[in-house]
Structure 1
Amino acid sequence: MALPKIPLSCSPKVNQVLECPLVDAVATNLLAPVKTEQQILENSMLEDDPNANCAVAEPQEAVTGPRWGPQHRGAQELANLYSRGKRIQECICVAICLTLMVVNLVFILFHIKMERLSIILAAAFFGIVTADFCSGFVHWAADSWGSVELPIIGKNFLRPFREHHIDPTSITRHDFIETNGDNFMVTIPFLSRMVWDFLVLSEDEVQRKFAWNSYVFLLAIFVAMTNQIHKWSHTYFGLPTWVVFLQEHHVILPRRHHRIHHVAPHETYFCITTGWLNWPLEKLRFWSGLEILIEALTGYKPRADDLKWAGKRK
């Protein structure tokens, strides 16, 4: 059913949604008009109003159930699939990852030379960019392909992506472990290899690999923090001032910028560390090109499982 059109200045609540920093407004509306303001209002959940499901009332909502949010039947079913075993895995991964981060940081500080500071800064920049791309690739793959019914990866790793689209604010109700457990897990092999290098290599060999290990370490930190940054992009109340500052200056993923991804059917702006790569990848039609190729080769349509869960409204 087509949704009714409304003027963009119809209420203070809608006006508040449309407010954003100048830089983000330019990036959203001039450089990359991926979604119009009307599409954002009609086809995404109004996250900054805890009592609202959408900025536009849907006449059939009382009959069909809410389109998004914690009262959505599909979201409730997916949330109930979070298991004790998954929780244990996340706790172990967070503990191991944090330990490895501290150990590697000690080794880096012990071996660092001030004349290599420029290398560290370059490694930090490329680590951020790589983490942003990796976040986009994993996000795109998990959003677009596979099913919650798949053995092992379905309930453990794809389930949160399905839940997040139909209840975007669910991530704000997750604690540190549930939010970050999987991202911390991904970094463990790389951080472990770094510890091994520091332990077994000679000083000359450590210095030869120092730039690479600095890049890997900073990449691991950004990857580990990606879902925390993602959580902040959905948090409209009570954020620390420094987080809001970083968002407004697009050092990390801004709330307004990420909302473009949450316009159904969630087919763009997948990068969620900084979001820096979203505009160029969209202009290159990177994700849509991959989807066309995969569908041509396999016959599978992207986001079929995602749409199935979104349809379980009542």
Structure 2
Amino acid sequence: MQYIEDVMATSDRVVAKAKKMTEEDLNCNQKGVTKQNKVSRWGPNHAGAKELAGLYTKGKRTQEVTCVYTCLFLAIFNIFQLVYHFSIENWAAPFAAALFGIVVADFLSGFVHWSADSWGSIELPILGQNFIRPFREHHIDPTAITRHDYIETNGDNCMMAIPLLAWQAFTFCVYTDERIRELYSWECFLFLLCIFITLTNQIHKWSHTYFGLPPWVEVLQKWHVILPKQHHRIHHVSPHETYFCITTGWLNGPLEFLKFWSRAEWLLEKLTGHKPRSDDLKWAKKTN
């Protein structure tokens, strides 16, 4: 009980900090700006944001389209298999396994988010321009994601889920019905893990969307079934060093209480000599 109270107290302190920020200027970049200051320090007119947005290529678009449709096909095939093999008498274990899959997806979203935010640069071969670039753009133009269509928003997450969904589809094709029933809880875990990995950036996009959301999305945010807006604002307080989990956000409080990310950064900095988010800061400071 004391642990839960400590987690909640830590979360409340961070939330209080975020609430002091205006919605359109989470880093207080415009506070005290004079008429003489013509340099945009945030948003689509920021020099770094413009350059990063311009690095989105036709090849990247092709990769995203391919991944979205491949992922959709595999997900449809697998959900039909799960429905076909479902048994109402044994629902509890599959339900618990599916819930655990969502929790693991939330942690993985945090790990990937932390890794891309904190380390590497867009100069890295293959990974840099294709996968780290969107993270750099997002911190200096957080609303850019709301202007992305479904393909650009979800292509990379679909790519990450494809190997697991493909393996699951393969097992459904080669395993006997008896073997599938034996592994049914595992299959539910794997499927929900994949689905929530796939949906992570869409959920993230909704957390930045303040107008025109479907009512059911707003209900899920209000109940904290998926990442709420106010909750995610905490991450966008500079220097973007906490609350990295962006699927449901359920793990942000406990991980913040444990100082999980800051301790991991301390260890990596000791081992490598590289400071976290140095490349992120470089793009934030870009003026031309």
What TM-score do you get using the length of structure 2 for normalisation? Answer: 0.92
Q: Could you list the runs of 5+ residues in structure 1 that have no partner in the other structure?
A: 1-26, 48-52
Alignment-mate amino acid for residue 46 of structure 2 = H
User: Which residue in the other structure is 1:7 paired with?
Assistant: none
User: Residues 166 and 29 of structure 1: is their aligned pair in 2 closer, same or farther, counting only changes over 3 Å?
Assistant: farther
Amino acid at match of 1:88: T
- Residue 182 of structure 1 deviates from its aligned partner by 0.3
Out of 204, 209, 215, which is 1:241 matched to?
Answer: 215
Task: Give the paired residue count.
Answer: 282
- State the match for 2:79 in structure 1: 105
Contact 1:148 1:155 in 2 (8 A): yes
Residue 58 of structure 2 is aligned with which of 84, 109, 120? Answer: 84
Letter in 1 for 2:71: C
Cα deviation, residue 202, structure 1: 1.3
Percent identity over the alignment is: 57
Give the Cα separation in 1 of the matches to 2:35 and 2:252.
32
Separation (CA, whole Å) in 2 of partners of 1:248 and 1:206: 37
Q: Secondary structure at the match of 1:225?
A: helix
Instruction: Tell me the distance in 1 between the aligned counterparts of 2:256 and 2:243.
Output: 7
Structure 2 equivalent of residue 4 of structure 1: none
TM alignment of 1:185-264, pairs within 5 A = 185-264=159-238
**Displacement of 1:28:** 7.8
Q: CA RMSD in A?
A: 2.0
Matched residue of 2:235: which SS? Answer: coil
Letter in 1 for 2:37: V
* 1:32 lines up with 2:12 in the alignment: yes
Q: 2:127 maps to what in 1?
A: 153
Kept after mapping to 1: 8 A contact 2:109/2:244: yes
Amino acid at match of 1:41: M
Q: Is the 8 A contact 2:153 2:201 kept in 1?
A: yes
Larger RCO (CA under 8 A, 6+ residues apart): 2
Q: Partner amino acid for 1:32? A: D
Segment of structure 1 superposing worse, 171-180 or 246-255: 246-255
- Does the CA contact (< 8 Å) of 1:41 and 1:56 recur in 2? no
> SS of the counterpart of 2:79?
helix
Do 2:18 and 2:234's aligned partners in 1 also have CA atoms closer than 8 Å? no
Q: Whole-Å Cα distance in 1 between the matches of residues 35 and 243 of structure 2?
A: 28
1:137 is matched with: 111
> What is the CA-CA distance between 1:37 and the residue it aligns to?
3.7
1:46 maps to 25
| TM-superposed deviation, 1:249 | 1.2
Q: Is the 8 A contact 2:10 2:253 kept in 1?
A: no
Number of the residue aligned with 1:302: 276
Separation (CA, whole Å) in 2 of partners of 1:78 and 1:125: 37
1:65 shift after superposition = 1.3
Cα pair distance change 1:265/1:93, threshold 3 Å: same
Contact 1:139 1:271 in 2 (8 A): yes
For the 8 Å contact 1:40–1:260, the answer to whether it is kept is no
User: How does the TM-score come out when normalised to structure 1?
Assistant: 0.85
Equivalent of 1:270, from 244, 265, 288? 244
Instruction: Determine if contact 1:61/1:67 at 8 Å carries over to the other structure.
Output: no
Question: 2 CA distance for matches of 1:58 and 1:71?
Answer: 19
Alignment deviations for residues 245-289 of structure 1 (CA, whole Å, 9 cap, x no partner): 111111110100100000011000000011110011001000000
Deviation at 1:222, TM superposition (A): 0.6
Q: Is the 8 A contact 2:46 2:287 kept in 1?
A: yes
Match of 2:207, as an amino acid?
Answer: S
Amino acid at match of 1:285: K
Query: Quick check: 1:32–1:279 contact (8 Å CA) kept in 2?
Result: no
Single out whichever of 153-162 and 104-113 deviates more from structure 2. Answer: 104-113
